[in-house]
Structure 1
Amino acid sequence: MATINFYLDKPDKKGFAPIHLRINCNRSQIKLSTGQKIEPKYFDRNKQRATGLDVESHEINHYLDFLRERTDELLHHSNKKTFVQDEIKSILNEHIENYKENNSINIIKEQLSLYGKPFTFVDLFAGAGGFSEGFLQAEFNNKFFDFVVANDINENCELTHLVRYNHQLGLDAAFLKQDITEPDFLDNLLEKIDGRKIDVVCGGPPCQSFSLAGKRKKFDKKDDLFSHYLEVIKVLQPKYFVMENVKGILTKEGGKIKELIIKEINSIVDTKEIPLLNSFIKKIRKESNSFLFDCILKRVELEILLEKNKESGREDFIRFVENGFKKLTPKIADYKTSKTDENINTIRHGFNLLARTKEWDKLKRDIIREKDFCNIDSDNFTDTFTDFLTEIGSENIISKIENSFKALKVHANYKKDCEDIITALNIYTTSFDESIEILKSHCTISQKKELDVILKNIRLYKIEQPFIANASNYGVPQNRERVLFIGCRKDQKYISEIPPTVSEEEKVTIFEALYDLDFIGNNQEAHRYELVDISKQYNGTAKKMAKLLKKRSIDGKLNSKNGKSFAEWSKKGRLSDRFKTQTKPFYVKSTEGLKNGEKYFDVLNNHKTSNQNDIVIERLKVILKKGNYRLAQPELEKLGLATNKRNYNVLKPDQQSSTIMTIADDYIHYNSPRSLTVREMARLQSFDDSFVFQGKRSTGGNNRKTEVPQYTLVGNAVPPLLARAVASEILKYIK
């Protein structure tokens, strides 16, 4: 058994004594300099710790604890039992050197402009940063991307961003930790952008947020994130935007959701062209129907308003329609009826509700947040909450107003005036495109042709159909299909698809991605790489397995001359020399740990297996042997190893994995009965090994609603190599 101690050497001329690490084992001794110095009066020799409550003492003690932990792990908990002194020194010095290089953060304001003019991008719903990572890797003809802002609502997403982009890479990319639905989100985003023009916006609003207007039943926190995403696009007006989602979005609600998304994107207008449309509306405005034309004009003018002025603009619209009703009231009801009739009061009070949409939306958001916090779902409370949230929605209020008009006994002379008020209110809730359809219904054939020419110029983005991208076509060892909506501003080249970077035969296999990490067993953690000898590990199939290793370019193209295997690229990193890293990769447990300097500098991070009991291991052995969970079930029943678990995915070394999700226990390693580590899942997603996932490794139960641990960060991410292909295609054509 080895003993591990720290002691002070002689002080230097300034009075600072070097701290040394000493290992005693079987009468042999190893001494190593930790690279830290301290005044002897601030070092407790008995406890072997720095004294005092300042940040510097805290960091020194964390560092000494880290070295003790790694030394103990090496000598007492590794598979190897015999070491030579130089081997121990070499391994520990690697940890020490990593710490020495981390003296301070040096944020680079410009990402080396000598490489050309950068194009800016913003990453919304950023999560771990898959889009960000891929966009930073992309380069084409001296063009590249400059990272401005990322956004997500979770603290661990922010922590992973801070460590990777601010500390490690030294970039000045900001992070906005805020819900996109909050009223001041856009103001805060613009503050972070600080006046810079944004060329590209990327992000994927969660698929739960897509629903047909007026058809929402669930009212969860993800409701309507898509419309807020588009609000950002309307304000920033980037040259391109990329929206990523699951394949199921194409068939959701019979394909109506896909059509709604395209319709909403087509409704984003070039505000510079609005005056031309207004002139057209005024030109064809009919005195006999001036009220309705004025409403259409006001609706169109809402598109020009800045976000901070839109609420007052919407209220002004409602008050304009309300004023039309006030003028109509004496014609359709006597004085007494107008004050006491339930239908008249419903219409009158409905206008008040609509005029305060901002306040009701805030209340709705707070209720949804509380409902979610209290787990109100599939219980006797759900319908009550849903009914109330439905009641205060604009569509429902307008529906009640419409029914009240129908219930009134209105003289035939004024029925059209009533219908115009209802149409005006419907204009209030419609998209720009739907408002134009109402306008078209009042146009002659020649006027419609004139309007179509105006509309062609007024639409800011070109998009026809979304594109299905399989990550395996871009050098990712995973069959992950995602839908991409690529919006192209009208002054930019249209992009309808992303060409594959690899052919079917060239696709990266699981073995190529993971073989060099296969030195870890059940309930183990590794902090450095170990040599994997394929010939010993695979015996009779060694040649077959070795053939799976292919030399490639970064994007997966075969390159036998000076390429590297996928695993080698993962170790080296796929970012270009444009990035001068400020520190070695490191891990912290929390935001507080980052503030206190509690950094863990390891050569290899996030490589820890789950602690699975003997029964689970036996179950996994049977499934692994059969190669398929369904085929293994009869034998599992026979052996008393059956489980209610819905599925296990057995990895096939010569194939690509299925879509990587957020639960590691759903996968069985191709060579041993165990689940995957975070690092292995990250490899299957095409993250570099230098990209460290921060915070908790996993979570469970209700914590899954609020926490985003490492496994969730990895599973929900856009594969960086897929994002790289998208970014490279944009760089080819962007003006």
Structure 2
Amino acid sequence: MATINFYLDKPDKKGFAPIHLRINCNGSQVKVSTGQKVEPKNFDKSKQKATGLTVESHEINHYLDFLRERADELLHHSNKKTFIQNEVKRILNEHIENYKENNYVNIVKEQVSLYGKPFTFVDLFAGAGGFSEGFLQAEYNNKYFDFVLANDINENCELTHVVRYNHQLGLDAEFLKQDITEPDFLDNLLKKINGRKIDVVCGGPPCQSFSLAGKRKKFDKKDDLFFHYLEVIKVLQPKYFVMENVKGILTKEKGKIKELVLKEINSIVDIKEIPQLILFINKIRKESNSFLCDALIKRVELEKLLEKDKEIGKADFINFVEKRFKKITPKIADYKTSKTDEKINTIRHGFNLLARAKEWDKLKRDIIKEKDFCNIDSDNFVDAFTDFLTEIGSENVIIKIENSFKSLKVPSNYKKDCDDIITALKIYTTSFDESIEILKSDCNAKMKRELETILESIRLYKIEQPFVANASNYGVPQNRERVLFIGCRKDQKFISEIPSTVSEEEKVTIFEALYDLDFIGNNQEAHRYEEIDISSQYNGVAKEMSKLLKKRKIDGKPILRGGKSFAEWSRKGRLIERFKPQTKPFYVRNTEGLENGEKFFDILNNHKTSNQNETVIERLGVILKNGDYKKAQPELKKLNLATNKRNYNVLKPDEQSSTIMTIADDYIHYNSPRSLTVREMARLQSFDDSFVFQGKRSTGGNNRKTEVPQYTLVGNAVPPLLARAVASEILKNIK
């Protein structure tokens, strides 16, 4: 058993003594200089710690703890049992040099354009930063991307962003940790952007947020995130936007959701063209229903307003329609009835509810947050909450107003006036496109052609159909299908798909991605790379395994000369030259650790296996031997190793993995009965090894609702190489 301690050497002329690390083992001794100095009076020899409450002493003690941990790990917890002195020195000096290189972090205040043309981008629902990472890897004809801001609601997403982009890469990219549905979100976003024009917005609102208006059966925090995402697009009006989602969105509610998404995108208008449409409506007004035309003009004018002014505009619209109702009330009901009748009161009070939509929306958000906090779901409370939240929605209020009108005995000569009020209220809640459909009903053939010409110029974005992208077509060793909605501003070149970078035969295999990390066993953590001997590790099939390794370009395309293997690219990093790291990668446990300088500068990060018991290891071994969970079921039952777990994915070295999710225990390594490390899952997602996932490794139970640990950051991310392909295609076409 080795003993590890620190001691002080003789002080220098300034009175500072170097701190040395000393290891004693079986009569042999290894001494290594830590590179740190301290005044002897400020060092407690018995505790082997720097004394005092200064930031400097805190950082020195964290560094000494780090070295002690790495020495202990090397001598007592590695696979190798015998070391020569020089080998121990060399390995510890690697850790020390790595740490010394990163003693000072320079956060650049501005992303200086050395050459070429920068285009700005914002990453919403950013998570770990898969989109951001891919966009910073893209370059075309000296055009590249300048990272302005990322947004998410979780603290660990922010921590991972700040460490990667602000500290490690030295960029001035902002992070907005706020729920996109909050009333002041857009104001805060614009404040952080600080007047800069945004060329591209990317992000993937969670699929739960897509629902058909008026048919929501579930209210949770994700409700309506898509519509809020589009509000950001309306305000920033980028040249392109990319919205990523799961493939299931195409068939959700029999394809109606996909059509809703396209309709809403087509409803984003170029506010400079609105006067032209208003002119057209006024022309129809002379020959048509002036009240509905006025309502349409008010609805169209809402598109010009910023979010903070929209509430006043909406209230003004409701007041306009209510005036119409007040005018005809004496003609459809006598005085007594107009004051006491339940139906008239429903209409009157309905206008009150609609006019205070802002206040009701705030209440709705607060209730949804409380409902989510109290885990109200699949119980006897949920229906009451859902019913109430449905009742206060504008669509439901208008349905009640409409039913009340229908129940009234309205004289026939005033029925049209009542119908117009209902139509005007529906105009209030519909998309721009649906409002125009109402306008078309008053147009003859010639007018419809004129209107179509106006609509061509007023629609800000061109989009036909979403594009299904499989990550494996872009050099990612994973069959992960995602849907991309690519909105192209009308003054930009149209993009309908992202060309593949590799053919079916050229796809990156799991073995290419993970083979050089295969030196770790159950319940182990590695902080440096070790040599892999394929011939001894794969006795009998070494030639076949070696053949899987190919030299490639960054995008995965095989190349005969000058390329690197996927693993080599992962180690070297794929960022373009201008985003060279200012510091080596480091890990922190939390935000407080970052503030206190408790950084772990390791050569390899996030490479730790789970502590699985003997029964689990035996079960995984049986499944691995059979190559498939279902095929292994009879043998598992026979050996009393059966489990209720729904599925295990056995990785095949010569194939691509299935979609990487957020739970590592769902996967079995192709060469040993164990689950995957965060780093291995990150490799399958195409993250560089220099991208360090911060905070906790994993979490469980109800914590999964609020915490985003490393495995979740990885599993939920957009694969950077897929994002790189998207960014490259945009750079090829952007004006």
Partner of 1:215: 215
Partner of 2:731: 731
Give SS of 1:468's match.
Answer: strand
Show structure 1 runs of 4+ deviating over 6 A.
Answer: none
Q: What amino acid does structure 2 have at the position aligned with 1:420? A: D
Range 8-17 or range 535-544, more displaced: 8-17
Q: Deviations over 1:364-413 (max 9, x none)?
A: 11111110111111111010000000000000000001011111111111
Partner of 1:30: 30
Give SS of 1:487's match.
Answer: strand
Partner of 1:412: 412
Give SS of 2:22's match.
Answer: strand
Partner of 2:125: 125
Question: What are the within-5 Å matches in structure 2 for residues 327-366 of structure 1?
Answer: 327-366=327-366
Partner of 1:520: 520
CA deviation after TM superposition for structure 1 residue 288, in Å: 5.9
Partner of 1:464: 464
Q: What amino acid does structure 2 have at the position aligned with 1:75? A: L
Inter-partner Cα distance in structure 1 for 2:559 and 2:111: 29
Partner of 1:664: 664
Inter-partner Cα distance in structure 1 for 2:182 and 2:676: 37
Residues 664 and 677, structure 2, Cα contact 8 Å, conserved in 1: yes
Give SS of 1:113's match.
Answer: coil
Partner of 1:252: 252
Inter-partner Cα distance in structure 1 for 2:12 and 2:418: 92
Inter-partner Cα distance in structure 2 for 1:236 and 1:13: 60
Give SS of 1:483's match.
Answer: strand
Give SS of 2:506's match.
Answer: coil
Inter-partner Cα distance in structure 2 for 1:535 and 1:97: 32
Question: What are the within-5 Å matches in structure 2 for residues 113-192 of structure 1?
Answer: 113-192=113-192
Partner of 2:473: 473
Inter-partner Cα distance in structure 2 for 1:245 and 1:377: 24
Partner of 1:617: 617
Question: What are the within-5 Å matches in structure 2 for residues 223-242 of structure 1?
Answer: 223-242=223-242
Partner of 1:449: 449
Range 27-36 or range 549-558, more displaced: 27-36
Inter-partner Cα distance in structure 1 for 2:103 and 2:92: 19
1:401 aligns with 2:401: yes
Inter-partner Cα distance in structure 2 for 1:383 and 1:186: 32
Residues 468 and 482, structure 2, Cα contact 8 Å, conserved in 1: yes
CA deviation after TM superposition for structure 1 residue 4, in Å: 1.0
Give SS of 1:176's match.
Answer: strand
Gaps spanning 5+ residues in structure 1: where?
Answer: none
Inter-partner Cα distance in structure 2 for 1:31 and 1:617: 39
Partner of 2:295: 295
Residues 131 and 203, structure 1, Cα contact 8 Å, conserved in 2: yes
CA deviation after TM superposition for structure 1 residue 486, in Å: 0.3
Inter-partner Cα distance in structure 2 for 1:377 and 1:507: 42
Give SS of 1:31's match.
Answer: strand
Partner of 2:699: 699
Partner of 1:311: 311
Give SS of 2:539's match.
Answer: helix
Partner of 1:680: 680
Give SS of 2:577's match.
Answer: coil
Give SS of 2:331's match.
Answer: helix
Residues 627 and 650, structure 2, Cα contact 8 Å, conserved in 1: yes
Inter-partner Cα distance in structure 1 for 2:112 and 2:87: 39
CA deviation after TM superposition for structure 1 residue 576, in Å: 2.0
Partner of 2:596: 596
CA deviation after TM superposition for structure 1 residue 60, in Å: 1.2
CA deviation after TM superposition for structure 1 residue 287, in Å: 6.6
Would the alpha carbon gap of residues 39 and 410 (structure 1) be closer, same or farther in structure 2, given more than 3 Å must change? Answer: same
Partner of 1:719: 719
Partner of 1:70: 70
Inter-partner Cα distance in structure 2 for 1:553 and 1:345: 71
Inter-partner Cα distance in structure 2 for 1:187 and 1:31: 58
Partner of 1:577: 577
Residues 111 and 578, structure 1, Cα contact 8 Å, conserved in 2: no
Range 13-22 or range 725-734, more displaced: 13-22
CA deviation after TM superposition for structure 1 residue 286, in Å: 3.5
Range 243-252 or range 19-28, more displaced: 19-28
Range 83-92 or range 492-501, more displaced: 83-92
Inter-partner Cα distance in structure 2 for 1:398 and 1:105: 58
Inter-partner Cα distance in structure 2 for 1:356 and 1:616: 58
CA deviation after TM superposition for structure 1 residue 30, in Å: 1.6
Q: Deviations over 1:104-162 (max 9, x none)?
A: 32122343412312000000000000000000000000000000000000000000001
Inter-partner Cα distance in structure 2 for 1:50 and 1:644: 52
Q: What amino acid does structure 2 have at the position aligned with 1:410? A: V
Partner of 2:426: 426
Partner of 1:4: 4
Residues 522 and 610, structure 1, Cα contact 8 Å, conserved in 2: yes
Partner of 1:391: 391
Partner of 1:628: 628
Q: What amino acid does structure 2 have at the position aligned with 1:65? A: D
Give SS of 1:567's match.
Answer: helix
Residues 136 and 579, structure 2, Cα contact 8 Å, conserved in 1: no
Give SS of 1:238's match.
Answer: coil
Residues 394 and 429, structure 1, Cα contact 8 Å, conserved in 2: yes
Inter-partner Cα distance in structure 2 for 1:74 and 1:150: 38
Q: What amino acid does structure 2 have at the position aligned with 1:98? A: N
Q: What amino acid does structure 2 have at the position aligned with 1:591? A: T
Residues 534 and 542, structure 1, Cα contact 8 Å, conserved in 2: yes
Partner of 1:608: 608
Give SS of 2:541's match.
Answer: helix
CA deviation after TM superposition for structure 1 residue 16, in Å: 2.1
Inter-partner Cα distance in structure 1 for 2:462 and 2:90: 58
Give SS of 2:691's match.
Answer: coil
Q: What amino acid does structure 1 have at the position aligned with 2:638? A: K
Give SS of 2:579's match.
Answer: coil
Q: Deviations over 1:510-566 (max 9, x none)?
A: 000000000111111111111110000001000000000000000001112000100
Partner of 1:511: 511
Inter-partner Cα distance in structure 2 for 1:247 and 1:526: 36
Range 270-279 or range 103-112, more displaced: 103-112
Q: What amino acid does structure 1 have at the position aligned with 2:103? A: N
Inter-partner Cα distance in structure 2 for 1:174 and 1:536: 49
What percentage of residue pairs aligned between the two structures are identical? 86
Inter-partner Cα distance in structure 1 for 2:38 and 2:419: 83
Q: CA RMSD in A?
A: 0.9
Inter-partner Cα distance in structure 2 for 1:13 and 1:116: 51
Inter-partner Cα distance in structure 2 for 1:43 and 1:68: 16
Partner of 1:381: 381
Q: TM-score, normalised on structure 2?
A: 0.99
Inter-partner Cα distance in structure 1 for 2:67 and 2:240: 48
Q: Deviations over 1:11-32 (max 9, x none)?
A: 2233222211111122222221
Give SS of 2:34's match.
Answer: strand
Residues 199 and 238, structure 1, Cα contact 8 Å, conserved in 2: yes
Inter-partner Cα distance in structure 1 for 2:105 and 2:337: 73
Give SS of 2:688's match.
Answer: coil
1:558 aligns with 2:558: yes
CA deviation after TM superposition for structure 1 residue 301, in Å: 0.1
Inter-partner Cα distance in structure 1 for 2:288 and 2:441: 15
Inter-partner Cα distance in structure 2 for 1:137 and 1:342: 64
Inter-partner Cα distance in structure 1 for 2:192 and 2:232: 13
Range 6-15 or range 651-660, more displaced: 6-15
Inter-partner Cα distance in structure 1 for 2:569 and 2:702: 38
Range 159-168 or range 23-32, more displaced: 23-32
Q: Deviations over 1:468-500 (max 9, x none)?
A: 000000000000000000000000000000000
Inter-partner Cα distance in structure 2 for 1:71 and 1:47: 18
CA deviation after TM superposition for structure 1 residue 338, in Å: 1.0
Residues 5 and 21, structure 1, Cα contact 8 Å, conserved in 2: yes
Partner of 1:195: 195
Inter-partner Cα distance in structure 2 for 1:696 and 1:360: 38
